[in-house]
Amino acid sequence: MRLIHEVADCTSPQLMKIEKCILAGATLILLASCSPQLTPFTQKLYDQYAWSEEELRKIQFYLSDDIVLRRKFAEGSSTIQKGKIKTIDGQKIEEIVFRRGTPGVFLFSPKDKRFAVSFESAEPPKYLMFGPNPKISNRYALLGKTWETREGTITYDGETWYTTTESAFASLLVDLDRAQYLEQQKKVVRGQRVEE
């Protein structure tokens, strides 16, 4: 009788809650181990691996921080892109938001230390420019035509947009394990056999 009573206690609500917590914790650990460990993409990293443009197209980039682009919306003379219309200080403003963690792909390098990275599928491609910023350890950060005290000027999809200076610190991140795997694949030598 005592044995049956002890077995019944194993299914008590308290014990079931503990089991659920342990199961949830194990699931979180498993998911965390599967998620990419993102590292800032820096000039040092780029120099170390010397990736070609073809190899850069195989690397998945991510944004480190939000980027918000704004421009005055002239009614009847513009089409709304993927943004939305807001009213700020009585003016209609078109706004496009690139959220932190948004994945992007390398398109081309117009010149040394400049990357055109696209975060949305479009034809013709739309992209933002990134390059090493010495103020943040040469991370590849958002580039603009001009940066002033409170805002910068950015060209996106052939239009001029404005963004806050915080966006100047939005940089590219990479999953270094996958990028290193790409480098290892590049160095695999298949060997050569003697012809008989």
For residues 91 and 141, membership in a common domain is answered with yes
Q: Nearest 5 degrees, angle CA 89-CA 147-CA 42? A: 125
Residues 7 and 104 both lie in one domain: no
Same-domain check for residues 68 and 9? no
Residue carrying structure tokens 């052939």: 158
28 and 49 both lie in a single domain: no
Residue 189 lies in a domain: no
Query: Same structural domain for residues 18 and 47?
Result: no
58 and 15 within one domain: no
Query: Same domain for 29 and 43?
Result: no
pTM (two decimals): 0.69
Q: Clarify whether residues 17 and 76 are in a common domain.
A: no
Query: Residues 27, 106: one domain?
Result: no
Partners of 162 in beta bridges: 70, 153
Is 171 among the domain residues?
yes
Residue 80: name the closest of 68, 101, 96 by CA.
96
Domain presence at residue 195: no
Residue 54, domain member (yes or no): yes
pLDDT at 166: 87
Residue 193 in any domain: the answer is no
Quick check: is 192 in a domain?
no
pLDDT tens across 39-88, in order? 999 999 999 999 999 999 999 999 999 999 998 866 554 455 555 666 55
* Domain that includes residue 27, residue range: 2-34
Asked if residue 111 and residue 136 are part of one domain, the reply reads: yes
Q: Into how many domains does the chain fold?
A: 2
Rounded to a whole number of angstroms, the CA Rg of the chain reads 25
In this structure, the answer to whether residues 66 and 151 fall within a common structural domain is yes
Give the tens place of pLDDT for each residue, 84-124. 666 555 667 888 999 999 999 999 999 999 999 999 988 89
Same domain, residue pair 83 and 118: yes
> Residue 90's Cα: distance from chain center in Å?
33
Element (H, E) at 32: helix 13-34
Q: Could you read off the pLDDT of 1-11 as tens digits, one per residue? A: 444 444 445 45
